[in-house]
Amino acid sequence: MSVAVRFSVKELKEYEPGKSVKGAVKLSSNENPLGPSPKALRAVLESVSGEEGELNLSVYPAERDEDELRDEILKYLSGSVRKENVVLGAGVDGVLETLAKIFIEPGDEAVIPVPTFSLYESVVKIAGGVPRFVERERERERGSDFSVPVEDLISACSEKTRLIFLASPNNPTGNCTPEQEVREILDAVPPTAVVVLDEAYAEFAGEEAGAAAGVEAGSSLLGLVKEHENAVVLRTFSKAFGLAGLRVGYGVVPEWLASPYKKVAMPFSVNCLALKAAVAALHDTEHLRKTVALVREERAFLTENLQRLEGFRVFPSQANFVLLDVSPRKSAEVCELLLKNGVVVRDCSSFRAAGDSLVRISVGTREQNEKVVEVLREGKKNES
Ligand X SMILES: Cc1ncc(COP(=O)(O)O)c(C=O)c1O
Interacting residue ranges for ligand X, rule: CB under 6 A:
30, 91-93, 117, 167, 171, 198, 200, 236, 238, 244, 249
- Cβ neighbours of residue 381 under 8 Å, at least 6 residues apart? none
Please report the DSSP string for 349-375 in residue order.
Answer: GGSTT-TTSEEEEE---HHHHHHHHHH
77 vs 375, beta carbon nearer ligand X: 77
Minimum separation from the CB atom of position 343 to ligand X (A):
18
Residue facing ligand X at closest CB distance: 91
Residue 54 burial (10 A CB sphere; 0-12, 13-18, 19+): exposed
Nearer to ligand X by Cβ, of 164 and 200: the residue is 200
304 HSE (CA, 13 A, CB side): 7
Q: How far apart are CA 122 and CA 39, in angstroms?
A: 35
Question: Cβ of residue 181: shortest distance to ligand X, in angstroms?
Answer: 17
Smaller CB separation from ligand X, 197 or 294: 197
Distance CA 176, CA 219 (A): 10
Closest distance between ligand X and the C-beta of residue 371, in Å? 22
Closer residue to ligand X, CB minimum distance, 173 or 375: 173
Cα separation of the two ends of the chain: 55
**Min CB(316)–ligand X separation in Å:** 17
Distance CA 222, CA 77 (A): 9
- Please state the closest distance from residue 330 (CB atom) to ligand X, in A: 23
Measured from the CB atom, is 25 or 200 closer to ligand X? 200
* HEC-encoded secondary structure of 117-135: CCHHHHHHHHCCCEEEEEE
Amino acid letter, 14: E
**Residue number with CB closer to ligand X (47 or 318):** 318
Q: Least distance (Å) from ligand X to the CB of residue 278?
A: 11
